[in-house]
Amino acid sequence: MGVRINECCCSCEDLFSGIAVGQEVQVQSNGNTTANGHFSRILGNVVILDEGVKNQEVRICCANIFSVTPRQTT
């Protein structure tokens, strides 16, 4: 569960440390953008979330992410 404190502090692995594949997360990135989905995998410097809608994926460059928060599932 990562929070970026400065521009170059973290790798994708650091940001998603403690997050299991399939776990629902909220990712906040530059431009005040928020994405919700299930953590799928890290591919280089990109994290891939599964939105669960028609197998749609969201790809976010880890350099643009400033926080990752696990979400409670009901």
Residues 28-68: pLDDT tens digits?
Answer: 998 889 999 999 999 999 999 998 777 789 999 998 998 89
**Residue 58 within a domain:** yes
Residue 5 binned pLDDT confidence (cut-offs 50, 70, 90):
very low
pTM > 0.85: yes or no: no
pLDDT, residue 69, reads 92
pLDDT, residue 3, reads 52
DSSP states along 38-68? EEEEEETTEEEEE-SSTT-EEEEEGGGEEEE
Neighbours of 62 (CB within 10 A): 22
| Residues 13, 1: Cα–Cα separation, whole Å | 10
Q: With contact defined as beta carbons under 8 Å apart, do 26 and 73 qualify? A: no
pLDDT, residue 56, reads 87
**Residue 42 within a domain:** yes
**Residue 3 within a domain:** no
- Give the chain's domain count: 1
**Residue 7 within a domain:** no
Torsion of CA 62, 66, 70, 74, to 10 degrees: -110
Residue 24 has pLDDT above 70, yes or no: yes
Looking up residue 51, the CATH number of its domain turns out to be 2.30.30.520
**Residue 2 within a domain:** no
In terms of residue numbers, what domain contains 22? Answer: 12-70
Tokens found for residue 59:
């790809």
